[in-house]
Structure 1
């Protein structure tokens, strides 16, 4: 998606050789038109997979996952990062570190919204080390649902997350692949 790459260059802030801040595009403010285009693209790529639910991790993946679920005409489920007072005692849970936030959190999904009859598409904003993705994949497996693939807006190719997911035999589609942030410059994989 050339428009996405253009927006990443225009609005992305390189914090270090490892971190790209995308608050103006994905993580704090959302571009609705671009988000709907990304949802259409993921729906096109996975439309033949019989998806029954789209799933993501709270919170930055929700907008793109919503757009994808809307295009596919299926519900969106998001893994919560905090247990609420109303949470079921036997929720599906995984403890995962966050590269960007520098903390470890639990991600939780209700068994009411993910089960053995589901064909699930995982959508998220960025993959770096892939810890949250691997945690959600374990939750999906424990639920008995079938993971049909993962759609990630931005893949940081210089970090191991996407490759680790692919090595598990999971179909992983990305809309923009970043090769490097070195020297204060965003370099995309062609």
Structure 2
């Protein structure tokens, strides 16, 4: 997706050979026009997959997930990282380790929002080691729902997350596949 590649080149900041900062347009300040294009692209890729729900993790996956949900005409559910007074039932939950924040979090979804008849599209901002994706897959399986695929905005292909998901048979569609961040330069798999 050329618009996303351009935005990463122009506004992304390489902090190390492992970390790409995209807070200017994706996960702090959000570029709504870019999110619309991302939602359009994911909707086109998954339009024939029978998607009934979209699942993401708060907070960075919410914007692309909402735009995709708008395009597909399906609800968006985000797994919450913080326990809330309103989330009191037996939650569907999993733990996930954040590489960039260096913390483990429990993420949860109310079982009222996912059923065994749902075909779920996972949308997330990054795919690196795959821990967030695996946590969401676990939650979806706990509900008895089906994972129809994963839509990733930016994939760090030099890390093992995609290989693990591919080996498990999941469909993964990434809009920007980063091959390397070496020398402070973003190189894409074209």
> TM-score over 0.5 for the alignment?
yes
Which interval holds the TM-score relative to the shorter structure? Answer: over 0.9
For residues 122-152 of structure 1, the C-alpha deviation after alignment (integer angstroms, 9 at most, x for no partner) is 0011111111110110110110011100000
Displacement, 1:95? Answer: 1.1
Displacement, 1:89? Answer: 3.6
Normalised to the residue count of structure 2, the TM-score between the two structures is 0.98
Runs of 4+ in 1 over 2 A off after TM superposition: none
**Counterpart for residue 187 of structure 2:** 187
Normalised to the residue count of structure 1, the TM-score between the two structures is 0.98
Within 1, Cα distance between the matches of 2:88 and 2:46?
Answer: 31
Displacement, 1:10? Answer: 0.5
Unaligned runs of 5+ in 1: none
**Counterpart for residue 2 of structure 2:** 2
Residues 89 and 110 in structure 2, CA contact (< 8 A), matched pair in contact too:
no
**Counterpart for residue 124 of structure 1:** 124
**Counterpart for residue 149 of structure 2:** 149
Within 2, Cα distance between the matches of 1:31 and 1:44?
Answer: 20
Once the two structures are superposed, the pairs formed by residues 34-183 of structure 1 within 5 Å of their partners are: 34-183=34-183
Within 2, Cα distance between the matches of 1:78 and 1:96?
Answer: 14
Aligned length: 190
Displacement, 1:88? Answer: 2.2
